[in-house]
Structures are given as structure tokens and as C-alpha cells.
Amino acid sequence: MYKKLPIPKSTNFLEERILEKSFKGIKFSREELAYLLYELDSESLYALADKIRKEQRGNLVFLRAIIEFSNYCRNNCLYCGIRRDNKELKRYRMKEKEILAEAEKLVLKGFKTIVLQSGEDPLWDAKRLSKVVKEIKKFGVAVTLSVGELDYKDYAILREAGADRYLLKHETIDKKLFSWLKPDTTLEKRIRCLFWLKELEYEVGAGCIIGLPGQTLDSLIDDLLFLQELKPDMVGHGPFIPHPKTPLAGFPYGNPELVLKIVALTRIILPYANIPATTALGVINPVYRIKAFYAGANVIMPDLTPEKYKTFYEIYPGKGIQKFDLNGWLETFRKMGRKTDLSPINYH
Ligand code: SF4
């Protein structure tokens, strides 16, 4: 348990103290984070995060289009629907040409970032992927990769090919929990990968699964302290959603309100970070994805994998059937007073 902080004399005093620390980039202590997580009411926490988002990142929402190009994975993470032991899943692997054609369509729609995501697929090695990255870079957009843990030299090959960003959620900083959930790797290796990516000057993305079986609130504070040290450029948090074809089937869902609180705390400790309103929040209930934009989020990452593959990238149930209504979202952002970075290309 944490040591109780003296109750501030007024909410204004508390607000000023938090804003000052956030804006000046002063690190928050465990006690302060615990106070904000355990004792501050959710609405006040979201309002603080929203204020910081507005001040530091403005009203622009970034749209980043995801193409999930392979659902093969050599790993067996306990929570994941595309783990290697899920023999009932139909596997697919998109061809280079197909990926490029999809990427081009998305660029023409106005997306400025293409995110290439896959399981840890041994047939898609860094050399092969780097050719796709080089081709997409010719469209004049940013390329984000999310293909898991690689060797330093592979991250370097992909960076050299032009990849700008890399997403590698750390999932949980609780060592025991991590080694139970991810038997093919270690927390040390995960952290090493994240620091390698930083060293190679990628924009780095981390983040947690919230509500994992056995995860405590105190360990989420450890996650925040870790993020404060890592200083990633992007942080995506999603609720745990049990997949029926995994050993974690039947465990309870992560609490979306808790995810929103962790999103808000992340905005407070990392005021400049890009923070997505994750798909998983929307799977629990679309309203939570919208709420995330009032709790510090400034990014949305639509899954625009071709329909014929999308349902097979089911890392958690309900993900593949999510339809992204672009016009609906643009209207939502307009009503929220947010602008987007989408600018469709018109050749006529
Ligand atoms: S979480 Fe990632 S590494 Fe683990 S099984 Fe799923 S796709 Fe593979």
C-alpha cells in the first residue's frame, strides 16, 4: 500500500500542482500516482488529462491505418487468439503486392501513416519486410511497424529501409505475470527491445493490457513509472478481453473505466505522447472509445485490413468484426471540435 498524501486544501491547488509538474516534465512519484489513481474521482482526472492534451497537443486527431498482413505467430501468449496453439484459426499471409495495393488505397484516402502489423511470423523476416517498407515510403507517408520482438540488426534493417515508428506494447511490467502470460520471451528482453528501438531513433510505442488475471492496481502504477522512464512517443492501453480459444477463456473482462483512468494518467505523465483510443475499448462498448478522447487520447488507429482477412486477426473476440465508419468518425470529431490530419488526394 502507498503512504497517504496529505489531502490538498482545494481542488484548485491539486490541479495547479499536477499541471505544473506535467508541463515542466517533472516526474511523478509513486505516492502521487497512487493518489491520482485511488483517490481522485474519475471525472476530475479525465478533465485534467483533457486540459493537458489540449494545451500540449491541441485539437488535432491523428488517424493511422492498420493493415494486419499475417496472422501467423510463433508464440503462444496465453491471452492471444492468434497464438500458435490455436489450431482452429484459419491462417493467412498477405502477398507483397496485396499489401502495397492496400497501402496505396489508404494513402489516396488521405491517411498519412500506414501501420503494418502481424504476429511474429518467421516467414516475414526483416529483409522481406524492408522491401515493403521501402515501397510504401515512396508514397510519402510514415510507416509504423508492429511485428514483435526482433534482433537489434533486424530493427536496424527496417529503420534503414525507412520505417519511422515501432509499436511494441510492454503489456505488463509485473515480471511474474509477464513470464506466465508470455512463455516464449522475458520481460528483460521486451524492455531491451524497447530501448534498442529508441537507440535506433524510431518513434516508439508501448502500452499495457489492463485487467489481466492477477494484475493489481499497484502493478499498474509500476507500469506508469516504467513509462515515465522509457518516455515513449506513443502509448496504447487496452482492456483485457478473454478469448474463448485461449487458456484465459472465462476470466473476467478488464474494466474499461480503469483503462480510461490509466489513459488519463498516461497523458498527465507524458504530456506530448500520442495516445490512441484503442479498438479494444470500442469492442467492450463504442462509447468508451469516444470517452477516451475526453480522457487524454489524440489518435485513432482504424483496422483497415481487407475484409476477407480481418476476421482471422482475432487477437481478442469481437475485434475482426469491428467496422470502421470513417465518415461517422469524422462527423464525431467535428462535433467534438477536433480536427483530423486526413486529407484525401484528388488527382482530378
Ligand atoms: S500477443 Fe503477439 S506475440 Fe503473443 S501470440 Fe499474439 S501475436 Fe503472437
Query: What residue type is assigned to position 300 of the chain?
Result: I
The arithmetic mean of pLDDT across residues 44-55, rounded, is: 97
Q: What is the mean pLDDT of the chain?
A: 94
Measured in Å, residue 202 CA sits from the centre of ligand 1 at 21
Higher pLDDT, 1 or 41: 41
Measured in Å, residue 182 CA sits from the centre of ligand 1 at 8
Q: What percent of the chain has pLDDT over 90?
A: 91
The DSSP secondary structure of 230-289, one letter per residue, reads H--SEE--EE----TTSTTTTSPPPPHHHHHHHHHHHHHH-TT-B-B--HHHHHH-HHHH
CB 344: neighbour CB atoms within 10 A?
A: 9
Domains contained in the chain, CATH given: 22-339 (3.20.20.70)
pTM of the full structure? 0.94
Measured in Å, residue 249 CA sits from the centre of ligand 1 at 16
Number of helices followed by number of strands (H, E) in the chain: 14, 11
pLDDT computed for residue 274 by the predictor? 98
Q: What is the DSSP letter of 56?
A: H
Q: Which of the four pLDDT bands, split at 50, 70 and 90, describes residue 324?
A: confident
Residue closest via CA to ligand 1's atom 2 equals: 119
Q: Cα–Cα–Cα angle for 59, 288, 252, nearest 5°?
A: 145
Grid coordinates standing for 29?
512519484
Ligand 1 in reach of 77 Cβ (< 6 A): yes
Closest CA to 93 of 63, 116, 65, 123: 123
The arithmetic mean of pLDDT across residues 327-339, rounded, is: 95
pLDDT computed for residue 49 by the predictor? 98
pLDDT computed for residue 343 by the predictor? 79
Please give the Cα distance from 235 to 148 (Å, whole number).
Answer: 16
Digit-coded pLDDT (tens) for 260-269: 999 999 999 9
Ligand 1 in reach of 120 Cβ (< 6 A): yes
Task: List binding-site positions for (3R)-3-methyl-D-ornithine.
Answer: 146
Mutation to probe ligand 1, out of 77, 117, 170 (largest number of atoms < 8 A from CB): 77
Q: Quick check: 346 pLDDT over 70?
A: no
Measured in Å, residue 247 CA sits from the centre of ligand 1 at 14
Q: Which of the four pLDDT bands, split at 50, 70 and 90, describes residue 11?
A: low
Ligand 1 in reach of 82 Cβ (< 6 A): yes
**Whole-number Cα distances in Å, 8 to 12, 13, 14, 39:** 9, 7, 6, 12
Grid coordinates standing for 308?
476477407
Residue closest via CA to ligand 1's atom 6 equals: 80
The arithmetic mean of pLDDT across residues 168-195, rounded, is: 98
CA distance between the termini of the chain: 63
pLDDT computed for residue 151 by the predictor? 98
Q: Quick check: 223 pLDDT over 50?
A: yes
Long-range contacts of 316-322 (CB under 8 A, 24+ apart): 316/79, 316/80, 316/81, 316/241, 316/242, 316/243, 316/280, 316/283, 317/81, 317/241, 317/242, 317/243, 317/244, 317/283, 318/241, 318/283, 319/241, 319/279, 319/280, 319/283, 322/279, 322/282, 322/283
Query: What residue type is assigned to position 2 of the chain?
Result: Y
Distant-in-sequence, close-in-space partners of 92: CB < 8 Å, separation ≥ 6 = 70, 71, 309, 312
Digit-coded pLDDT (tens) for 132-161: 999 999 999 999 999 999 999 999 999 999
Q: Quick check: 72 pLDDT over 90?
A: yes
Mutation to probe ligand 1, out of 89, 120, 212 (largest number of atoms < 8 A from CB): 120
CB 264: neighbour CB atoms within 10 A?
A: 28
Ligand 1 in reach of 75 Cβ (< 6 A): yes
pLDDT computed for residue 320 by the predictor? 73
pLDDT computed for residue 10 by the predictor? 53
Measured in Å, residue 73 CA sits from the centre of ligand 1 at 6
Closest CA to 86 of 74, 98, 95: 74
Q: Quick check: 13 pLDDT over 80?
A: no
Measured in Å, residue 80 CA sits from the centre of ligand 1 at 6
Q: Which of the four pLDDT bands, split at 50, 70 and 90, describes residue 12?
A: low
